[in-house]
Amino acid sequence: MKKTARIAVALSLAALALTSCGERPSDNDSDASGDPSSSESSTTPKESHPDFKACMVSDSGGFDDKSFNQTSHDGLVKAKEDYGIQTAEAESKSDSDYASNLENLAKAGCKHISTVGFLLGDATEAAAKKHKKIDYSIVDFGYEKPAKNVKGLGFATDQPAFLAGYLAASQTESQIVGTFGGAKIPTVTIFMDGFAKGVDYYNQEKDADVKVVGWDVDKQNGSFTDDFENQSKGQSLAEALIRQGADIVMPVAGPAGLGGLQAVKQADKKAIWVDTDGCVSAAEYCDLLLSSVMKGMDVAVEDAIKSSIDGTFTNEPYTGTLENGGVSLAPYHEFDGDIDQATKDEIEDLKAKIISGEITVS
């Protein structure tokens, strides 16, 4: 599949998801070499399918990224707890590991393999075409013509990001807010688009002039680390945005974004997290997080696995929105008392208007 076609499809899928946050297992099932390893659950499942094996491949961010890999992995853990299945996983250390990790899991007897992230699109498709009796699901990716055994799991993160942009615009003191990404790919820039559009909407409604640094919607260009793992790069980019006057920063960069939060903390500014509720996944930074833009990858993954268990799996893409609860804005946590009720009501009203179609973000 050509790159341009993949990006177009990912944009459409990313424009459409679930929320929840599970727990990491106490025993890490990952093998440092990237080879699959099995795990057992001590909980009593509500169903029992001991012969079914569900597996997962991370992208290079790893399963402890406090972001999309970790939340997706929570779905695998929850499926094991709920349905009494076997699980195995392979943690990718670099992009070159994807194909071999997928092949190892196929040989390990997996009946459903979930992959995490846009970067695994080609490798997942190739594996699915080779192993047609295995069901595959992929987080943050979709195909123009998916194989019968591949299901794309997409999230309309621009919708809650729009709410986050409005929130940031309402709370900034410098009248400048910022965002940066880990890579210039649709599943990252959709957050940045929504955020900037939310700021613009606030400006229109309030006759304000809050500026966004780090992303230009019209030019579709901005600040990127080009790396999802390097926290030093994330810290440097956040520091650059702060030097430009931003007092609220939204990193969209996985683990690299944690470096951005460190810069925000050192500068005594505020931030917004993405993918998960940052006050849960990165609790050490909760005191500077206004909120988080969440997508329920864990629920989407578990539902895809369950459909394979039940024999109802299809290649119809999963698309999640504010309407179906697939994406959401997290609670305000420690800032709940600082954000006035009028602003909270306005954000709830915006959510309702997005759901009704009165406001179209994409």
Residue 155, pLDDT > 50, answer: yes
Residue 307: CA count within 13 A, CB half-sphere? 21
Among 46-50, 82-86, 196-200, 272-276, whose mean pLDDT is lowest? Answer: 46-50
Q: What is the pLDDT of residue 286?
A: 98
Cα 222 to Cα 164: distance, rounded to the nearest angstrom: 18
Mean of pLDDT values over 186-198:
97
Among 37-41, 239-243, 252-256, 273-277, whose mean pLDDT is lowest? Answer: 37-41
Sign of CA dihedral 158, 295, 171, 248: negative
Mean of pLDDT values over 186-214:
97
Q: What is the pLDDT of residue 67?
A: 80
Cα 357 to Cα 159: distance, rounded to the nearest angstrom: 11
Residue 274, pLDDT > 80, answer: yes
Residue 268, pLDDT > 90, answer: yes
Cα 81 to Cα 257: distance, rounded to the nearest angstrom: 30
Tokens for 350?
Answer: 């915006």
Residue 355, pLDDT > 70, answer: yes
Residue 1, pLDDT > 70, answer: no
Cα 156 to Cα 10: distance, rounded to the nearest angstrom: 11
Cβ 305 vs Cβ 76: under 8 Å:
yes
Cα 150 to Cα 124: distance, rounded to the nearest angstrom: 8
Strand order in the sheet with 211-213: 211-213, 176-181, 248-252, 270-275, 289-295, 327-329
Strands 86-90 and 37-39: antiparallel
- Please provide the average confidence, as pLDDT, over all residues in the chain: 89
Q: In sequence order, what are the beta bridge partners of 153?
A: 139, 318
- Total Cβ atoms within 10 A of residue 94: 10
Residue 13, pLDDT > 90, answer: no
Mean of pLDDT values over 206-221:
98
Q: What is the pLDDT of residue 62?
A: 86
Strands 289-295 and 327-329: antiparallel
**How much is the pTM?**
0.80
Residue 350: CA count within 13 A, CB half-sphere? 25
Q: Could you give the domains of the chain?
A: 3-156+297-320 (3.40.50.2300), 158-295+327-356 (3.40.50.2300)
Cβ 348 vs Cβ 163: under 8 Å:
no
Q: What is the pLDDT of residue 30?
A: 37
DSSP H or E run through 352: helix 341-356
Residue 246 sits at φ, ψ, to 5 deg, of -65, 130
Confidence of residue 43 (pLDDT cuts 50, 70, 90): low
Cα 124 to Cα 41: distance, rounded to the nearest angstrom: 27
Which positions ≥6 away from 55 have C-beta within 8 Å? Answer: 36, 76, 87, 88, 89, 90, 105, 108, 110, 112, 113, 114
Q: What is the pLDDT of residue 40?
A: 40
Tokens for 9?
Answer: 């499809």
Confidence of residue 137 (pLDDT cuts 50, 70, 90): very high
Among 15-19, 44-48, 297-301, 315-319, whose mean pLDDT is lowest? Answer: 15-19
Strand, helix or coil for residue 184: coil
